[in-house]
Structure 1
Amino acid sequence: MIGELAALSTALCWAIAARLFRQAGGGFSALCMNFWKGVVTFVLLGLVCVFFVPAASLPASGYGWLLLSGVIGIGIGDTCFFLALKRIGDSQSVLVTETLAPIFAALLAMVWISEWLNAWQWLGVAVVILAVDMVIKSTRRTSPHITPSAGYLYAAGAAVCQAVGAVISRDILTGYDINATEAACWRLAGGIVMVALMMLWRRERWLPKFNPGKRAWCLLAIATLLGTVFAMYLQMLGFANAKAGIVQTLIATSAIFSLGVAALMGDKIHRSTLMWSLVALVGVAILVVS
């Protein structure tokens, strides 16, 4: 039960953080924001590891896989997510990313670590895919100012990267004796290096284009604490105690949490979006209980 509770807590943290990242990100490029939230999180979790977590002893290949997990899931995946945030907003970005990621994770887990889906789980996959497709179509009709093509592609790319990172992490955490905090630090290291290389290649600014102001920095700090420090640890704790497909599926409930956050912030939630979001949640529930 620890893994399931950790996954649900991750979903709540990420739903709140997504809105805060969007509000704080006016002066930050996607890569710049991804880099600095990764650096801050690495420092904080690194201090925890140094003072409270005994060092693990993994073969070089084990550390290499964790680094690769971070390169894909954090370096590329989070950058795609931030790009989606700027184009389609937090509710739609979270909805598409976190409902597609469990499907990709479940399929990849079948191949990678032999976690097979049964007939009910395949039904859940079909329900989620249908619901996400209908949400996207209803959003295009009701929000013509949104440029969906690039935004939804970035969100789908983030989902693929999350799934790959999830399955690799699950494989390492179950195959070796390593604490979730230390594993998170290794993943972050890989993600930070990847983002730094992309910034150098694109000649991106390392600081915001303009001074965002104290409020934006405070929002970014809170979002990093919730969406990266807490969420990263909780996510790895989930992977250590539950199957990758189940954990990624429960994290997908951040799509529903995100709609709740949007409603509390005064955003109008269209009836069709809400209805199909609930259908997506039914698909997620089928995947969990089957």
Structure 2
Amino acid sequence: MGYEWLALAAAFLWAVASLLSVVPAQHLGTFAYSRWRMGCTSIILGSMALYTGGWSSVEQSGVAAMMLSGVIGIFIGDTALFACLNRMGPRQAGLLFSCHAVFSAILGYFLFSETMTHIEFIGALLVFSGVLTAIFFGRKGQAANQLESIKGNVWAGITLGLLAALCQALGGIIAKPVMQTDIDPVAASAIRMMTAFAAHCLLFISGVKLARATLPMNIKIFAITAVNGFLAMAVGMTLILYALKQGNVGMVALLSSTTPIMLLPILWIYSGKRPNRFAWIGAMMAVAGTGILVV
């Protein structure tokens, strides 16, 4: 399977997982949900790498980079994403997260002296315009839809979503050189996940109030969290790392940023409410803009 299909498959899994995250994220709270999810995924990935012998491919020289990628891309990025999801719902959080392709291009400009043409600037403008269009106009006619309601300050939600996108871009750039070696993607993903989980555990042990669960864990919430972690992180993120072994960061970022468009029909089926035309237009503008940036 080519890296294009791997990235698209990851985008689809992220779309499904974002919808599955709504109930447990609201039940447990942002930090507790992220901690439980990362704990489940760490066990799954670690076991997979042990079964396949992937741990033998890990070289000490690449461990530090993968750990840093895990702290930035997963511990900070994923936690910010779920905080955004709790405030803005899966569609709008997914749109903001799709900006990681833009940030990948911008970081490439500053870190690797890559130039940005006028066409690429138009692409970046399209992405942000599409995101803003979908967020501020995409909720028209959706007043009764709880998945579209914004809780708290809208700009706080936007900031969290953009932080998640920036961290995802940074995590991918940090991981890329290591992924071009012979390291097993499952083992690499396990290192990132275990590091993020350890960071969450340290935060919880420190007694920070935000790290406590809003409501106690139960069997139903645990099952949803475990399935979500398996789909999005154990499978989805590992597919992205496989894709990074074959393709460039920008193209992988583009293909994986199609999640907002994939999420629209899923939300339509789930809620029975058709997203309005601004939601579709904004999502397509965002993906078209990322296409201009990285193709």
TM superposition score normalised by structure 2: 0.88
Tell me how far 1:237 sits from its aligned partner: 0.8
Q: Does 1:81 align with 2:81?
A: yes
Alpha-carbon distance change, 283 to 208 in structure 1, aligned in 2, over 3 angstroms: same
Q: Does 1:94 align with 2:94?
A: yes
Structure 1 range deviating more: 265-274 or 75-84: 265-274
Tell me how far 1:113 sits from its aligned partner: 4.7
Once the two structures are superposed, residues 140-192 of structure 1 have per-residue CA deviations (whole angstroms, 9 ceiling, x without a partner) of 77678523121111111101110100101112212x32111111111112211
Mapped partners of 1:211, 1:180: distance in 2: 31
Mapped partners of 1:231, 1:31: distance in 2: 21
Number of the residue aligned with 1:58: 59
- The amino acid of 2:134's aligned partner reads V
Number of the residue aligned with 1:17: 17
Tell me how far 1:261 sits from its aligned partner: 1.3
Structure 1 range deviating more: 225-234 or 74-83: 225-234
Number of the residue aligned with 1:29: 29
- The amino acid of 2:107's aligned partner reads L
Number of the residue aligned with 2:251: 246
Structure 2 residue runs without a partner (length 5+): 144-148
- The amino acid of 1:125's aligned partner reads A
- The amino acid of 1:222's aligned partner reads V
Q: Is the 8 A contact 2:14 2:259 kept in 1?
A: yes
- The amino acid of 1:241's aligned partner reads Q
Structure 1 range deviating more: 28-37 or 200-209: 200-209
Question: For this pair of structures, how many residues does the alignment match?
Answer: 285
Partner SS state of residue 177, structure 1: coil
- The amino acid of 1:159's aligned partner reads A
Tell me how far 1:197 sits from its aligned partner: 2.5
Alpha-carbon distance change, 251 to 57 in structure 1, aligned in 2, over 3 angstroms: closer
Number of the residue aligned with 2:280: 274
Once the two structures are superposed, residues 38-63 of structure 1 have per-residue CA deviations (whole angstroms, 9 ceiling, x without a partner) of 11111111112112134125244x21
Q: Is the 8 A contact 1:246 1:287 kept in 2?
A: no
Alignment of 1:79-228 (within 5 A): 79-98=79-98, 100-113=99-112, 117=116, 120-139=119-138, 146=150, 147=152, 148-174=154-180, 176-201=181-206, 202-203=208-209, 209-212=215-218, 214-228=219-233
Tell me how far 1:206 sits from its aligned partner: 5.9
Once the two structures are superposed, residues 204-245 of structure 1 have per-residue CA deviations (whole angstroms, 9 ceiling, x without a partner) of 566662354x43333222212211111121111111111111
Q: Is the 8 A contact 2:58 2:188 kept in 1?
A: no
Partner SS state of residue 13, structure 1: helix
Q: Percent identity?
A: 25
Number of the residue aligned with 1:229: 234
Q: Is the 8 A contact 1:70 1:165 kept in 2?
A: yes
- The amino acid of 1:215's aligned partner reads K
Mapped partners of 1:90, 1:168: distance in 2: 27
Mapped partners of 1:121, 1:27: distance in 2: 41
Aligned-residue CA RMSD (Å): 2.3
Structure 1 residue runs without a partner (length 5+): none
Once the two structures are superposed, residues 242-284 of structure 1 have per-residue CA deviations (whole angstroms, 9 ceiling, x without a partner) of 1111111211100111122111112441222222222222223
Q: Is the 8 A contact 1:80 1:157 kept in 2?
A: yes
Mapped partners of 1:188, 1:74: distance in 2: 7
